[in-house]
Amino acid sequence: MKTKRFAVIGLGKFGFNVAKTLFEEGHEVVAIDENRGRVQDIDPFCTEAIVMDASDKEKLKALGLDEMNGVVVSAGEKISNSILICLHLHEIGVKKIVVKAIDDDHEKILKKVGATEIIRPEMAMAIRVAQGLSKPNILDFIPLAEDYSLLQVDPPRAFIGKSLMDLDLRAKYNVHIIAIKEYVPENFVLVPPANFVIKDSDVLIMLGKSQDIKRIRELR
């Protein structure tokens, strides 16, 4: 998996967990908050932790955020702060700006000032719960042991152009490919056949022990 670079601004529960997860996934993460205690807490779980007022445009500009794969903004209940930060990020050329919104009006304003993606955690969880009740997904009922994972993985370079039969992932890594998302053309293949040839645009949905999937993700 190719390492990407991200910044997370605002290290409340949401921002902290986004930064920590991205870092544990093997990416470079710059974590930013004006609260020194929060920055100290995230320090072991990121590439760089910075105490800074992110509403200062010049300080943001100096971090080279426009060169990153994405910036996540989670400014808590400070609506005006998140709007200002989002505007600054847009003006300095950040291509992917993901912002946590509080309500509908906040979301509308964020979109107008440059947010490319809006996150509404509580709404997303509510929808997920409702859909789970209305249309249960069989995966929700598969009891996974603590050391097993069901993950989406970008195919390593060594997998491109090879069939699942050639790769024989079950024998070599004890990992199962249970589905593949194709983007060119757009398609979803459940339980792909052994002769399925992997493309660089595919996403592999793997089931296996976390350590075995990690071995695959570390391949180049």
- Average confidence (pLDDT) over 37-62: 95
In a domain, 136, yes or no: no
Same domain membership, residue 147 and residue 77: no
Q: How far apart are CA 44 and CA 176, in angstroms?
A: 32
Q: How many domains does the chain have?
A: 2
Confidence (pLDDT) at 138 = 46
Same domain membership, residue 119 and residue 10: yes
Q: How far apart are CA 51 and CA 35, in angstroms?
A: 7
Among 20-29, 69-78, 125-134, 171-180, the minimum mean pLDDT is found in: 125-134
In a domain, 131, yes or no: no
H or E segment at 32?
Answer: strand 28-33
What would the pLDDT profile of 93-151 be if each residue is shown by its tens digit?
Answer: 999 999 999 888 999 999 999 999 998 877 777 766 675 566 555 455 455 656 777 88
More confident position, 77 or 164? 164
Same domain membership, residue 157 and residue 101: no
Same domain membership, residue 159 and residue 114: no
CA distances from 76 to 6, 124, 195 (A): 19, 17, 49
Confidence (pLDDT) at 126 = 74
166 pLDDT above the threshold of 70: yes
CA atoms within 13 A on the CB side of 183: 7
Same domain membership, residue 117 and residue 46: yes
Compute the mean pLDDT over every residue in the chain, rounded to the nearest whole number.
87
What would the pLDDT profile of 16-49 be if each residue is shown by its tens digit?
Answer: 989 998 998 889 999 999 999 999 999 999 999 9
Is pTM beyond 0.75? Reply is no
Domain with 194 in it: 141-217
H or E segment at 88?
Answer: helix 79-91
CATH number reported for the structural domain that contains residue 28 in this entry = 3.40.50.720
Give the rounded percent of residues in the chain with a pLDDT score beyond 90.
55
Same domain membership, residue 145 and residue 116: no
Quote helix, strand, coil % in the chain, to nearest 5: 40, 25, 35
Same domain membership, residue 65 and residue 167: no
